[in-house]
Amino acid sequence: MFLHSILAFMAGLQLAAGKVYDTRFKGTTWDDEKWILKTTNLDQGHYQSRMSLANGYMGINVAAVGPFFEVDTPVDGDMIGGWPLFNRRQTFATIAGFYDSQPTTNGTNFEWLYQYGGESVISGVPHWSGLHVAVGDDLLDASVPSDQISDFSSALNIRHGLMTWSYTWTPSSGSAIDIEYSMFVHKLNVNQAAVQLKMTAKEDIKVSVIDLHDGDCAVRTDFVGKGFMDDMPVIWSAVSPNGLSDIHAYIYSAMIGDDSCDSSSRTQYTDKSVIGQNKSSIAQAVAVNLSAGKTSTVTKYIGGASSDAFDDPQSTAMAALLAASNAGWNKLYASHCNEWQSIMSTETVDDYRDPDSGLLPDDDNIVELAITAVTNPFHMLQNTVGARAIEAADGNNKLDLNSIAVGGLGSDAYAGWIFWDAEVWMAPGLVVTYPDAARQIAEYRVDKFAQAQRNMKTAYQSSQNETGKFSSNSAVFPWISGRFGNCTAAGPCFDYEYHLNGDIGLEFYNYYAVTGDSPFFKKELLPIYDAVAQLYAEVVTYNETSGKYDLYNATDPDEYANFQTNVGFTMVLMHTHLNTANTLRARFDMPENETWADIASKINIPVNEKAGIILEYAAMNGSIEVKQADVVLVDDFLDYPNPYSLNNLDYYAGKQSLNGPGMTYGVFSINANQISPSGCSAYTYELYGSQPYTRGPWFQYSEQLLDNYEANGGTHPAYPFLTGMGGANRVAVFGYLGLKLTLESLNVDPNLPPQILNLNYRTIYWQGHPISAVSNQTHTTLTRTGKPLENANSTFTDSPIPVTRDVDDASRSGNSTVWHLPPGGSITIKNRQIGEIKTVPGNIAQCRPVTSNRNYEIGQFPLAAVDGAVSTKWQPTHLNVPSSLTVSLPEPFVPVTTLKFDWAQSPPSSYRVTFSNSSSGSDSVEVASDDDVEISDAYVAARAADIVPYASNTTNVTLETPVWSGRFATLTIKGNRALEGTGEERNGTGASVAEFAIVGEGGEDLVGRSTGVW
């Protein structure tokens, strides 16, 4: 019995230890139970290592070594942010909506439009979280010498919305001091934040603690005022955004210490070497007498407000500060934690754990998906204000009028502007689970609707300058938007990305499908939806020759191609928007607009019938390089019966630029899961859409595969790139569950790739009713659980929800199976299991585990060579050394008769295939080889502009005598024939392998019995 108890205890320890996982980032671990990222790697002066903290109203970016202001250390001479500011990279802090008014920006789209007005760029506020320690001439700040720091660790507790730092600081002029910082931005009380410092000295020592507001962070502002209060340990600073002297932001802070603090020593700190030269900088300092081995605590409370949301921001900030300091750290922190836990719980994130053991699979890729399933929504939700926070602010609905910027509230990336990124990339994955938080994305457009209507009067500034063409019933939103929502040089309304307006419509529709909130939709959103329909009806031109409607001088999401005719995604979007507008009108007993219906039926969607694809624009040729997801968005987002779906997927996969932004491949994953008849490329694409863009230690995304602008095509990447996180956050629900948001039914089409054995999806809402979904490899169970939203569609309160499988509006009326999901009940449906369908019949290598012995190009994963799709590929980094990938084959072993290779556009000079029964390959047997691989589809410059179906170089080998498969198959390649005759012939990138198929004799039946062997 005693031995049994010991074994049980040890097993429990192993289980607990197993919940902390190493990541691929140096010194960084993930606690899957507590949701804590922890790093022991100190990386100072680099924006990738900094964390942003926010609550949807106040936001701030902090240094790697503590809650400090920091300026980047140049990397290869570069410390510049991206378009349009091209400013110095440094920490940033702001308040939601705190935009300025300035004449120009360093970069723009159409400079000549400046004659009609300037831009509105997000302004900063003084960096308010600094709590520094001074010992003699030594200062603990962002640039503290790294050799003074030991035993460093920093952690992000996502469950609690808490950032911590812990290390020993050994100043040159004193003994070692153990330092602990903790910091949060209050999620419920949006005007509050707090920082706590704990110090434990090895010897008795006197230090100074400095509470700093660093004005160097208050970029694009004018100084308003600052103050040092004599009767309270409080300082404050105030600024106005450039060009708007009537708008003010106030930051207050109080520094409160324990008995070790000498309050009589408190003074205004004025050392310019610490606080800088900016007028809005201010600091206070207090002496702290540290006793050896005894911990001293200093807490900094912050109150902040601007006049955008509060009539008296100074009083609001001061009141928030006093309330925070009176509550004290523990009470304040507890209410903050409670709010985060009411928003994010285990049920609100996708769960990859084994349902029996409660542990994640022994698979680094799955572990990382499990991490980003938590971090991605967290990073976005930080930039939203929830319903409870608005209620706590006395129902101040002005807090709900700000959308989500590309980099959030801790970054001025892309000038803090609002793009389609919020509606198309962030909103879908957020709204299905966090509809309260996502509502502000719609509310921002509602707030700017009147300006969008006025924007129609600026058509004269464009090629649409035609008297009487546009009516007062239409509205147009600018490509980018800040404070005003007007047309600008960087954000034109005409002759540019008209799809934005339909993107807004998509977000409105999705919000309605998720919440079922008919009163809000009808009153606030439907008028805008109709105004966009009217815009689309008026911006097109009827072509008498073709009998169709054309769109001129437009840009699709692919911004490499401007001023084009009939841009593909936009044309389909206009078609579906016009039709859906009438569908919505019918739903609310409003008359059909026959003009819209007629135009929708005659929208000129560009198609190349020979290649079987939708063109990105009418004049497109085969040399196109695509910046980001474009035509492939049709199948992902639009309710359109597309006969070219699979061809579009394969064709445009080969045309994507490596220098495009990091949200594209989530779309490819979702489409592959929906469209591909076989294989598991959806999983490959999901990894491609996340891993190459993720940066440690905080799992924030970069805009680019490579952050070096000299290597990525000249882009200084936005960071953190919430757009990419939003794109990745869509994959599980919209891809593997196959959710298509519709009003008439809950429409799903589940299929898990073979690599993911179990997936417990985050709670989703349909028409305001919560639904849980759980998939294993073969089946998916949907269950109605939890409390409906306040304004949920009451039709389903006591009635079943209709569930359909992958149908469009045309067939939803009765041509598909309908399940009925009753209140409190469950239904189970079969998965499609396309991973078990062989693209090459009898291929025993498809979707099997695979490894490589060499480095490979970013995102060109080894598993791409066996995922059953020629649109993905493995590509080693170097051509001049042999590179191998080894596939773990299933049992029972089978006689292999054929090998098939798809080399894409870059075949190797040589290849060799061996089978073995050991992972080391010591018992390997050569199966086939070739030292002079033939090119079957050579590049011909004269035909580069031709649009042709996807074609590649292939090699097929029929073995004279069948060879038994064994446990492992290894493909070794060398050289790259596509680079022969070029300057990279000897030292360029390796060849590519789009597909490596091992065909077994009778393998189809045998492999079917080995499902689930990993």
Residue 20 CA to residue 785 CA, distance in Å, equals: 30
DSSP string, 129-177: EEEEEEETTEEESTT--GGGEEEEEEEEETTTTEEEEEEEE--TTS--E
pLDDT at 1012: 28
pLDDT at 517 over 60: yes
Question: In the 8-state DSSP scheme, what is residue 731?
Answer: I
The amino acid occupying position 252 is Y
Residues, the chain: 1014
Q: What is the pLDDT of residues 416-450, one digit of tens each?
A: 999 999 999 999 999 999 999 999 999 999 999 99
pLDDT at 247: 99
pLDDT at 2: 35
Q: What is the pLDDT of residues 802-825, one digit of tens each?
A: 999 976 544 444 556 899 999 999
Cβ neighbors of 329 (< 8 A, separation 6 or more) are 194, 196, 299
Mean pLDDT over 163-168 rounds to 99
Residue 996 CA to residue 1014 CA, distance in Å, equals: 19
pLDDT at 17 over 80: no
pLDDT at 7 over 80: no
pLDDT at 734 over 70: yes
Q: What is the pLDDT of residues 345-372, one digit of tens each?
A: 999 999 999 999 999 999 999 999 999 9
What are the structure tokens assigned to 735, written together?
């891809």
Q: What is the pLDDT of residues 602-643, one digit of tens each?
A: 999 999 999 999 999 999 999 999 999 999 999 999 999 999
What are the structure tokens assigned to 777, written together?
């490899």
pLDDT at 439: 98
Rounded-to-10 torsion of CA 930, 931, 936, 939: 150
End-to-end Cα distance, the chain: 36
pLDDT at 941: 59
Domains, the chain, in order of start with CATH, read 41-344 (2.70.98.40), 758-835 (no CATH), 850-1008 (2.60.120.260)
Mean pLDDT over 12-34 rounds to 81
CB atoms within 10 A of CB 44: 18
pLDDT at 149 over 80: yes
pLDDT at 944: 63
Can you name the residues that pair with 974 across neighbouring β-strands? 910
pLDDT at 533 over 60: yes
- Counts of helices then strands in the chain (DSSP H, E): 20, 42
**pLDDT band at residue 18, thresholds of 50, 70 and 90?**
low
Residue 341 CA to residue 175 CA, distance in Å, equals: 40
HSE-CB of 361 using CA atoms within 13 angstroms: 17
Q: Is residue 710 a contact partner of residue 877, using CB atoms and an 8 Å limit?
A: no
**pLDDT band at residue 1013, thresholds of 50, 70 and 90?**
very low
pLDDT at 1004 over 80: no
Burial-class residue 311 by CB neighbours within 10 Å (0-12, 13-18, 19+): exposed
**pLDDT band at residue 922, thresholds of 50, 70 and 90?**
confident
Q: What is the pLDDT of residues 827-839, one digit of tens each?
A: 999 999 999 999 9
Q: What is the pLDDT of residues 178-197, one digit of tens each?
A: 999 999 999 999 999 999 99
Residue 17 CA to residue 36 CA, distance in Å, equals: 14
pLDDT at 942: 60
DSSP three-state, residue 237: strand
pLDDT at 10: 38
Residue 642 CA to residue 808 CA, distance in Å, equals: 11
What are the phi and psi torsion angles at 718 (to 5°)?
Answer: -65, 145
Rg (CA), the chain: 29
Q: What is the pLDDT of residues 278-321, one digit of tens each?
A: 999 999 999 999 999 999 999 999 999 999 999 999 999 999 99
559, 985, 1001, 1004: the catalytic one is 559
Percent of the chain with pLDDT over 90: 92
Q: What is the pLDDT of residues 47-70, one digit of tens each?
A: 999 999 999 999 999 999 999 999
Using a cut of 0.85, tell me whether the model's pTM lies above it. Answer: yes
**pLDDT band at residue 659, thresholds of 50, 70 and 90?**
confident
pLDDT at 3: 35
pLDDT at 658: 85
Question: In the 8-state DSSP scheme, what is residue 81?
Answer: -
For residue 822, CA distances in Å to 271, 302, 516, 817 come to 68, 49, 17, 16
What are the phi and psi torsion angles at 828 (to 5°)?
Answer: -125, 130
Residue 844 CA to residue 842 CA, distance in Å, equals: 6
Residue 233 CA to residue 245 CA, distance in Å, equals: 29
pLDDT at 935: 82
Residue 831 CA to residue 483 CA, distance in Å, equals: 47
- Average pLDDT value over all residues in the chain: 95
Cβ neighbors of 944 (< 8 A, separation 6 or more) are 622, 623
Q: Is residue 246 a contact partner of residue 224, using CB atoms and an 8 Å limit?
A: no
What are the structure tokens assigned to 595, written together?
């003009």
Mean pLDDT over 498-504 rounds to 99
DSSP string, 651-681: HHHTTB-TTS-TTHHHHHHHHHHHH-SSS-H
| Residue 111 is a catalytic residue | no
**pLDDT band at residue 670, thresholds of 50, 70 and 90?**
very high
pLDDT at 12 over 90: no
CB atoms within 10 A of CB 21: 18
pLDDT at 1007 over 80: no
CB atoms within 10 A of CB 92: 29
Mean pLDDT over 489-508 rounds to 99
Nearest Cα residue to 50 out of 756, 891, 42, 58: 42
pLDDT at 1010 over 50: no
Q: Which residue has the tokens 């050392």?
A: 271
Q: Is residue 180 a contact partner of residue 169, using CB atoms and an 8 Å limit?
A: no
